[in-house]
Amino acid sequence: MINLYKPQNRNKDEDGKDQDKKIGHDRFYQERSRSRRKKTCNRRVQSENNFNSSELRLARQMSIGRSSSIESPPSKWVNLQKVFLMKTRSTSMPRHEYSALRLENGSEKNSNDRHQQIQLQDATYTSCQQYLEYGGRYELQRRLGMMGSRPDKHWFVIKDKSLGAERLLSLVEVPQQCPLQTTATTRETMLELFRSLQHPYIHPILDVEFWDIGAAFICPLNYSGSLKDLIYGENWQEDHGRKYSGKGQGLPYRQVQCLGRQILEALLFLQNRNYPKFYHLHSGNVIIQNGVARIAAIENPLLGLPPKPPAVDECLAFGYLLFEMTTGYELPTPPSAAHLKIELERTPKIAETLWDIFESDSCPTIEELLRDDLFRGVELRELRRTTGISYVTSAEVNDLLESVKVAPLPTPITR
């Protein structure tokens, strides 16, 4: 099989160099279809005559009492380190653990007091706003809810004023076991690394900032949500603890083939770029952009963040993901032979692939899975744009990757 992702010795052309140096661009953004749609009038530009009297009266009442002082620059910086420490000391849950811990009776354990959580979110919002105003390039639009399972991670919608585009900012506390120094030099090296990792099946990281309150990663804002949102038919902005409580819907066979092949191509790309093992593969870390799967959260191994259980390597994690795409729910442990036979009776090819992953003497490699009959014939139109693209990694990037690889692995990780 021809490997498209092996390093090449050819130099980039001048256009490629200029593009790589730009912050905030996604080279492989998937364009939306250009089908004609009926134009609708924007409510913001409608005449007052188009609204009824009750709507106008309600709008006037809501506008009374609004303060204009929010636009004035803050007089004092907010330090969230004490807030984070207070939060972690007041709970029995270890830092960076996942919040979806279930008791024997099936109820979820609420690790944080609701009032304290609201205080933390407000303080995070204020501090993030101040940092962005100080930087000048980005403008804070709004705060999002707890979309993920990490209790110490926060999401915001921001605007890139230089490009006029909305972006997603994720803010996470840097753990003590982080193998990297959060310095300006490290930031520049990480940006160089992320620019070299732009790929049709990887959700790009466009910018990085290291603040006292944590590490901020800026990515494209995607309104389609994650693969998990697709499986469960949920809105991407809803809280994680509520929207995945029931069982989802298995995806069509052909869609499972396409998305699975795209995810494998992304894993192969990272592997051939000498990237650390990606123990963070699950349906919540796969973004769906116009029907195309793009692996997200590639910054997690660099920060030393603990992965979500069962915390296995890429091939086993892909097996769990393949099962979830087919059946509509995820498993905490490997499926048994009887389980595969009953649940996947209508999809024997998927059952055979999962058998090879979980029941064979040795788990297949990514290359072997790509040669599997289930994925071998899938057309990958997005890869046509990668033809002829070469890359050269600097010594600083190679040293950063090596320092992450030799660092102790965060727990829990199942080898």
The percentage of the chain sitting over the pLDDT mark of 70, rounded to a whole number, equals 71
- Contact between 159 and 173 under an 8 Å Cβ cutoff? The reply is no
Q: pLDDT tens digit string along 19-35?
A: 445 577 777 776 555 45
Residue 100 has pLDDT above 50, yes or no: no
Residue 91 has pLDDT above 70, yes or no: no
Q: pLDDT tens digit string along 248-293?
A: 999 999 999 999 999 999 999 999 999 999 999 999 999 999 999 9
Residue 123's pLDDT is what? 87
> Across the chain, what does the average pLDDT equal?
80
d(CA 278, CA 101): 23
Q: How confident is the model at residue 145 (pLDDT cuts 50, 70, 90)?
A: confident
| Alpha helices (runs of H) in 136-283, residue ranges in sequence order | 184-196, 227-232, 240-243, 253-272
Residue 107 has pLDDT above 70, yes or no: no
Task: Work out the number of other CB atoms within 10 angstroms of the CB of residue 174.
Answer: 16
Residue 31's pLDDT is what? 58
Q: Which two tokens stand for residue 42?
A: 């924007």
Task: Pick the most confident of 56-60, 114-118, 392-396.
Answer: 392-396
Residue 326's pLDDT is what? 96
Residue 120's pLDDT is what? 80
Left, alpha or beta for 388 (phi > 0: left; psi -120 to 50: alpha)? left
Q: How confident is the model at residue 110 (pLDDT cuts 50, 70, 90)?
A: low
Q: How confident is the model at residue 352 (pLDDT cuts 50, 70, 90)?
A: very high
- Contact between 157 and 168 under an 8 Å Cβ cutoff? The reply is yes
DSSP collapsed to 3 states, 355-367: HHHHCCCCCCCHH
At 19, which helix (H) or strand (E)? helix 14-20
Section 197-202 average pLDDT = 95
Q: pLDDT tens digit string along 238-260?
A: 888 888 888 899 999 999 999 99
